Structure formats: C-alpha cells, structure tokens
C-alpha cells in the first residue's frame, strides 16, 4: 500500500497475478502455465485462466511471485526460467511501482508439441 496525497493506493493480488501471467505467456520457451487440478477447476469456473499457475503475495511496497510452468521441448530450461524471472519482474515493477523481491518458478512439465507430432507421423509411415 503506497501513500498518496490525501489517500492510499493498494494493488490487489489479482492485478499483480494478471500482469505476471500475461508476461509469462509472452516468454519464449514457455508452452503454458500449470495449475494443480483444484486450481485448474476453480479458474475454469471463475474465468481466470490468465492467472493459472500464478500465486502472488503483495505487501505494502513489495511483491513475491510464484509461477508454475510447462516448458517447450528442446529449450534450455535454466535460460528460459531466468528470462521468465526477468520479464515478470520488469512488467510488475513497471506497471505497479512495487518492488518484486522474488520470482520463484516450478517447472511442472515439458510440452512435446511438434516433436511428439513428428515422431508419431514417422511411426505411422514405418
């Protein structure tokens, strides 16, 4: 919560989650966000799919962000995650003025995508 002239400003956790989720979805090497089964069901019902796999804690001047992601097959996971951390941090800090103290990432899986499709096609030909 920031002090303003004549009042205060409080940015909701959901606002930070949307910013972080959108930045993550635009990061190369990230196939999708991951949520547990309970979270996935709740977000489908509520329509908050952009924040699937995003958990934030917003304090007065700082925010901490946890992301659960699925990466694309063949990428360097550590590089993709460092890039993801930087993009999310920059987006949240630029749009909210909050200091992002940490961006924690859990890689829940690998999306095989085209690799899987091409292998399946090769096996059909044989």
Give the model confidence (pLDDT) of 24-81 as tens digits: 999 999 999 987 544 444 444 444 577 899 999 999 999 999 999 999 999 999 999 9
Phi first, then psi, for residue 9 (nearest 5°) are -125, 130
Backbone Cα Rg of the chain: 17
| SS3 (DSSP) at 65 | strand
Tell whether the model's pLDDT for residue 1 goes beyond 90: no
CA dist 86 and 93 (Å) reads: 11
Q: Who has greater pLDDT, 14 or 38?
A: 14
Within 10 angstroms of residue 41's Cβ, the number of other Cβ atoms is 11
Task: Calculate the average pLDDT of the chain.
Answer: 84
Tokens standing for residue 7:
């009042």
Name the band, by pLDDT with cuts 50, 70 and 90, for residue 124: low
Within 10 angstroms of residue 75's Cβ, the number of other Cβ atoms is 17
Per the listing, tokens 């709740």 go with 42
What pTM did the predictor assign? 0.78
What's the domain range around 22? 2-125
Whole-number pLDDT of residue 72: 96
**Total domain count for the chain?**
1
When pLDDT is averaged across residues 2-28 and rounded to a whole number, the result is 90
Tell me 36's DSSP state: -
Q: Could you tell me the CATH number of the domain that includes residue 32?
A: 3.30.70.1350
Whole-number pLDDT of residue 46: 41
């Amino acid at each position: 919560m920031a002090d303003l002239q004549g009042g205060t400003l409080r940015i909701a956790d959901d606002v930070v989650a949307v910013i972080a989720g959108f930045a993550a979805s635009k990061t190369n090497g990230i196939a999708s966000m991951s949520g547990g089964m309970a979270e996935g069901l709740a977000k489908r019902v509520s329509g908050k799919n952009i924040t699937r796999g995003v958990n934030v804690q917003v304090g007065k001047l700082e925010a901490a962000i946890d992301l659960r992601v699925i990466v694309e097959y063949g990428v360097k996971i550590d590089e993709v995650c460092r890039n993801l951390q930087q993009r999310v941090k920059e987006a949240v800090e630029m749009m909210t003025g909050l200091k992002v103290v940490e961006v924690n990432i859990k890689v829940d899986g690998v999306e095989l995508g085209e690799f899987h499709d091409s292998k399946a096609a090769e096996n059909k030909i044989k």
